């Protein structure tokens, strides 16, 4: 993976971005770099048809392989496998003002996947309502989490990734 990323475009193999973690503490979330180097990386979400995304990056994003380095974050104790997805610092500041209970999602470690993601609330958030749906799912998860729920979320995440993988080929 690292070799392919290096061959396609200049820059590091990993993209690291400050995100909001448990208790509001920032941490560097790791991903395989899927975009060309750009000045908007820490302020602008990727969007459909984004010309910053490389060809390999599009594949990595479609198959969620770009997320694999977050297992390093899990080993460091900064993330969990299941939990609310971490957001860019400026999104936390913005949405915490617009959405009641937004900060409640920071009670637990952020996750590589979560209830919001398997429920279809992932990707770019153009409207506040899209983020509200994500936050509601995160809070539902926090209030009802269990080992059984985590296993179900992991299984559904794997199923979604496999389904996407099959549509790529």
- Residue-wise pLDDT tens digits, 118-140: 998 887 777 889 899 999 999 99
Q: What is the mean pLDDT of residues 5-17?
A: 93
Q: Specify the pLDDT at position 56.
A: 94
- Does the global pTM surpass 0.85? yes
Q: Specify the pLDDT at position 62.
A: 87
Q: How are beta strands 111-113 and 80-82 bridged, if at all?
A: parallel
Q: Could you tell me how many helices (H) and strands (E) the chain has, helices first?
A: 7, 4
Percent of the chain with pLDDT over 70: 96
SS3 53: strand
Q: What pLDDT, in 10s, does the model give residues 74-104?
A: 999 999 999 999 999 999 999 999 999 999 9
pLDDT of 42 higher than 90: no
Confidence of residue 169 (pLDDT cuts 50, 70, 90): very low
Cα–Cα dist 84/34, whole Å: 22
pLDDT of 57 higher than 70: yes
Contact 105, 140 (CB under 8 A): no
Q: What are phi and psi of 74, to 5 degrees?
A: -65, -45
Q: Which domain holds residue 27?
A: 2-168
Q: Which residues pair with 28 in a beta bridge?
A: 18
CA 117-122-128 angle, 5° bins: 120
Give the chain's domain count.
1
């Amino acid at each position: 993976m690292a070799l392919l990323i290096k061959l396609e475009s200049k820059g590091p193999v990993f993209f690291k971005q400050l995100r909001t973690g448990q208790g509001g503490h920032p941490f560097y979330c790791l991903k395989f770099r899927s975009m060309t180097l750009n000045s908007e990386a820490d302020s602008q979400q990727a969007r459909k048809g984004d010309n910053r995304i490389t060809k390999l990056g599009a594949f990595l994003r479609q198959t969620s392989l770009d997320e694999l380095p977050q297992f390093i974050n899990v080993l460091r104790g900064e993330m969990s496998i299941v939990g609310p997805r971490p957001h860019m610092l400026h999104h936390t500041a913005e949405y915490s003002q617009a959405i009641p209970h937004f900060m409640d999602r920071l009670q637990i470690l952020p996750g590589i996947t979560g209830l919001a993601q398997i429920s279809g609330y992932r990707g770019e958030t153009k409207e506040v309502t899209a983020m509200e749906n994500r936050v509601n799912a995160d809070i539902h998860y926090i209030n009802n989490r269990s080992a059984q729920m985590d296993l179900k979320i992991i299984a559904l995440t794997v199923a979604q990734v496999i389904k996407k993988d099959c549509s790529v080929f």
